[in-house]
Amino acid sequence: MKIDSLSIRRQDGALQILDQTLLPLEERWLTVPDAATMITHIQRLAVRGAPLIGVAAALALAEEASGDISREALRARANELRAARPTAVNLMHAMDRMIAKLDGGLAAIRAEAEAIYAEDVRLCLEMANRAAAFIHDGDGLLTHCNTGGLATAGVGTALGAIRAAWMSGKKIHVFVDETRPLLQGARLTAWELGKLGIPHTLICDSMAANLMRAGRVQHVLVGADRIALNGDVANKVGTYGLAVQAKHHGVPFTVVAPSTTLDPACLTGAEIPIEERNPEEVRGGRAPLATPVWNPAFDVAPRALITRIVLEDREF
C-alpha cells in the first residue's frame, strides 16, 4: 500500500516523517527505522497531532516487526509507544488495535498499520466535508493550533473543513492564532494555508476576543485530542479560553474530530490526563532561568461552551 501524505510517507521502502520542528523554514524528511526512534520524534513534536501520532506509531511498530524481534519484545514496544504522550487517545486506540494483531504475524501487523493509515485518510475527508457545511460564504473563521495535513494522515480535521469550504467556492478568511508557547498556528497552520492559497491573517492568541467583539469572526473551528463521554473536549491549551470568548460574543464554536478521538472511558473532561511539558518551552530564552513555569500542553473545554462536535458520520 502506498503511504504518502503531507506529513508521513514510505519512500524507497523506508518510513519517513516530515520534521515539523523545522517548519516553516526547512522541509526535512527523517527516516524512522523503529519504534524507539518514533517515540523520540513524537515526544519532541517532530510528529504531532492526535490522529497522526496514532498512525505514525502504528506504522513504526510495523517497521519494528519486520526485524528480528520476539512477540514479547514487540508487545513491549507497543506499550512504550502507547505511553509516548498521555492526552491524545488516538495513540492508545491505535496501539490497542496493533497489539490485538501481534499473534497474527508480520502480515497481519502490517495490514493493520496500513488500515489505520487508510482509515484516517477517509475519516478526514468525511468529517471535513460534513463540517464545511456549517461554514458560510463570507465567513471570518478563527482556528487554534494546527489541525490540517500536518496533524493527520489526510486533509485534516478543523483545517480540513476550512479547506473543503474554500475548495467549494466559499469566500472565507482565516484568522490563525499563533498558539503559544510552541507557535503551531504561526509555524504550521500559516504554512499550510499559504500552500493552499487560502486567505489568512496571523494573530497573537490574546487578540482573538477583540476580533470577535469587532464582528470579524463568524465561526471558531478547532480540533480535539480527546473527547470525554459527556462531550468535554481536551485540545491544545488556549482552546478553553477561546470557547469562553466565543460563548460571550455569540460566535459558534465547532470541534471537528474523528471518532478515534472519542474516549467513553473518560466520563468527563476532569478525567482526561493533561500532559505537562518542559518549562523551557515557555521561558523561551526570554524569562530569567529561575522563573517557575506551568506548562500544560492541553486544556479542557466544557461541552456547555461548544456549539457542536462534528465527527465523520454525525454531529452532536
Place of cell 498521555: 86
Contact yes or no for 69/60 (Cβ under 8 A) = no
By CB neighbour count within 10 A (0-12 exposed, 13-18 middle, 19+ buried), where does 21 fall?
Answer: middle
**How far, CA to CA in Å, does 249 sit from each of 91, 141, 169, 244, 253?**
35, 14, 27, 9, 11
Greatest Cα-to-Cα distance within the chain, rounded to the nearest angstrom? 61
Contact yes or no for 51/153 (Cβ under 8 A) = yes
Q: Is 225 a catalytic residue?
A: yes
What letter represents residue 297's amino acid? Answer: A
Listed residue (222, 231, 226) closest to 303, CA to CA: 231
Quickly list DSSP for 273-314.
Answer: ---B--THHHHTTTS-TT-----BSEEEE-GGG-SEEE-SS-
Please identify which of the residues 177, 225, 232, 299 carries the catalytic annotation.
225
CA distance 17 to 39: 12
| H or E element at residue 228 | strand 226-228
DSSP helix/strand/coil, 262 = strand
What letter represents residue 303's amino acid? Answer: R
Helices (H), the chain: 35-43, 50-65, 71-82, 89-99, 105-132, 158-167, 184, 190-196, 208-213, 239-249, 280-283
DSSP 8-class letter at 132: H
CA distance 3 to 201: 32
**Which residues are catalytically annotated?**
225
